Chains A and B, each alone.
Chain A
Amino acid sequence: MDWVLSHLDDIGNLTVTHIVLCVPAIVIGFVVSVPLGYAASKSSLARGVLLTLGNVLYTIPGIALVVLVPVTLGIPLLNPVNVTIALLIYAVAIMVRSAADAFVSVSGDVKQSATAQGYSASQRFWRVELPLAGPVLLAGVRVVSVSTISLATVGALVGIPSLGTFFTDAFQRNFALEAVVGLVLVLLLAAVFDLLLSLVGRALMPWTRGTRLSAGAAKALSQPVPAGVGDVAGPGGRL
């Protein structure tokens, strides 16, 4: 406890650093995945290609990606952007599938009826399909958020600071308490993000409160998440 109290500054700084690594990956991952998922929901060819690609990317071990990204893109090894880019790749790998499922879950009757009322194709996308894909998209983002926060610790292995720094530091100093503190912080941060996301979802999707989900959304949400997703150990069960 004394250690915690005397390291509040570190805890605060590293938590903020960790958030800064994760948030862009989650947000950009969502923005990139929605159109890809929409394409995957429209054509079975696109679906096959995108989902296979997603699975392959997701299998790459985190540490490998953190090293490969800077080498490939020519970014200095210690630049935090490397971690964010690696996290973004995982986020998209997970999220494309959720987004595809989300658009498939929108009732065909509702889409037909929107067309019949005179929505143009783009109006129908923005005003009907995207909002109605919302509940399943949200479920996907929540998985991505938890997984990203957990995965971001991997950067500490190559010296990019995050809450994972508590793990490497604990290892070097053979000081278990520090690792436990780091773990608790990661879990807390993930829980806070999850809570915030669910609140945002409630605010943005008032129609889902107290009503039953559409059959399609309920089905998409009941499907098991892809293997490994949400597993705190991260891709391939490795760091």
Chain B
Amino acid sequence: MAIEFRNVRKTYPDGTTAVEDFSLTIPSRSTTVFVGSSGCGNTTLLRMINRMVDATSGQVLIDGEDVGAIEPVALRRRIGYVMQNSGLLPHRTVIDNVATVPVLTGTPKAKAREQSMALLDRVGLDRSLAKRYPGQLSGGQQQRVGVARGLAADPNILLMDEPFGAVDPIVRDELQRELLRLQRELGKTVVFVTHDIDEAFLLGTQVVILKRGGVVAQIGTPAEILARPKDDFVADFIGAKRGKRRLTVEQQGDGDDLLLVDSSGYPAGLISAPGGRLEPVLSGGSDPKSRSVSNKTDQAGDA
């Protein structure tokens, strides 16, 4: 399911223009990450896909079909949505939360629950949690339930709005890896919003760096952006969060692969150039220096 934004503009009733003029094609079955600081219009862009927000002008198309012509409730049921703080229904058990959309679309409850059990496995949650209420879970577990719920109707599109923004760094790391695994298995069209450039580079096949007003600063694969930041804004943005550890790219001996090196000379990540995807340099080492670029600066920086 490809998604296309065509000259989309959104002005809220109070006069705030959240998105000025946004055009983008999101290829199907891959992950596109919107990254920008808070207030850039990330959430607005995401919500124009499932019509929680209607564009003031311009069009959003899914496989060529204008979403404006699709009934919003039906549209939302075929698009997964995961948000920060999970947004789980506190009065429904874990299993019923996961089964939300199938039940809404008329799947018998027992069957929906059975399918949801399998989804718990899929997102790495123990089945014994099924009867708990969300308030009895940790933040990381809640986010997993949120992801399972987003996948329950087997949507082609999954929208994720800072889904891992409120969990601690170790759990976030785990959730990011799980998402990469899920995406390898399921191949959804994922649109992911984050403020964290490391997260964007780790998860995104295509990364869209946004400025205020939904203005695109740069679009590209992580490799392209890292190798050739388009302007100072982008350079700052991808450098700022790294503090002193400004990453540089070195050509490796053989093949297209690029090696990322931090300012103290440690290898920080490897870019396999064809996909542009970052991979850990050394597999699963316990030494922080050996972990991928997604790992936080402070770990490598302090080492």
Contact = CB atoms under 8 A, between A and B. Distances in A.
Contact of A116 (B50, B85, B105): B50
Contact of B91 (A116, A119, A123, A131): A131
B50 A128 contact: no
B294 interface: no
Interface stretch (A15-23, A173-181, A205-213, A218-226): A205-213
Given A117-B101, A119-B104, A120-B73, A110 B90 contact: yes
A118 B133 contact: no
Nearest to A113: B87
A117 B76 contact: yes
B239 to A, nearest CB: 33
A118 B74 contact: yes
17 contacts: A107-B90, A110-B88, A112-B52, A113-B81, A113-B86, A113-B87, A113-B89, A114-B89, A116-B47, A116-B81, A117-B76, A118-B76, A118-B101, A132-B91, A134-B91, A207-B90, A207-B135
B292 interface: no
Majority DSSP secondary structure for residues of A touching B: helix
A214 B135 CA distance: 9
Nearest to B93: A207
A207 B73 contact: no
A207 B135 CA distance: 8
Given A113-B89, A117-B149, A132-B91, 10 more contacts: A109-B85, A113-B81, A113-B83, A116-B52, A116-B76, A117-B77, A117-B100, A123-B104, A207-B133, A207-B135
A197 to B, nearest CB: 18
Interface residues of B, number: 26
B224 to A, nearest CB: 32
Interface in B61-118: 73-74, 76-77, 81, 83, 85-92, 100-101, 104-105
Nearest to B46: A116
B91 A118 contact: no
A116 B83 contact: yes
Interface of B: 47, 50, 52, 73-74, 76-77, 81, 83, 85-92, 100-101, 104-105, 133, 135-136, 149, 159
Among A109, A112, A113, A210, which residue has the most Cβ atoms of chain B within 10 A? A113
A115 interface: yes
Contacts of A118: 73-74, 76-77, 101, 104-105
A119 B81 CA distance: 13
B133 A211 contact: yes
Contacts of B76: 115-118
B253 to A, nearest CB: 48
Interface string A194-217: 000000000001110011101000
Q: Which of B83, B88, B90, B105 has the most chain A CB atoms inside 10 A of its CB?
A: B90
A214 B89 contact: no
A76 B83 CA distance: 60
A206 B131 CA distance: 12
A132 B133 CA distance: 13
A109 B165 CA distance: 14
- 8 tightest A-B contacts by CB? A113-B87, A118-B77, A211-B135, A116-B81, A118-B76, A207-B133, A207-B91, A131-B91
Nearest to A119: B104
Interface in A105-153: 107, 109-110, 112-120, 123, 128, 131-132, 134
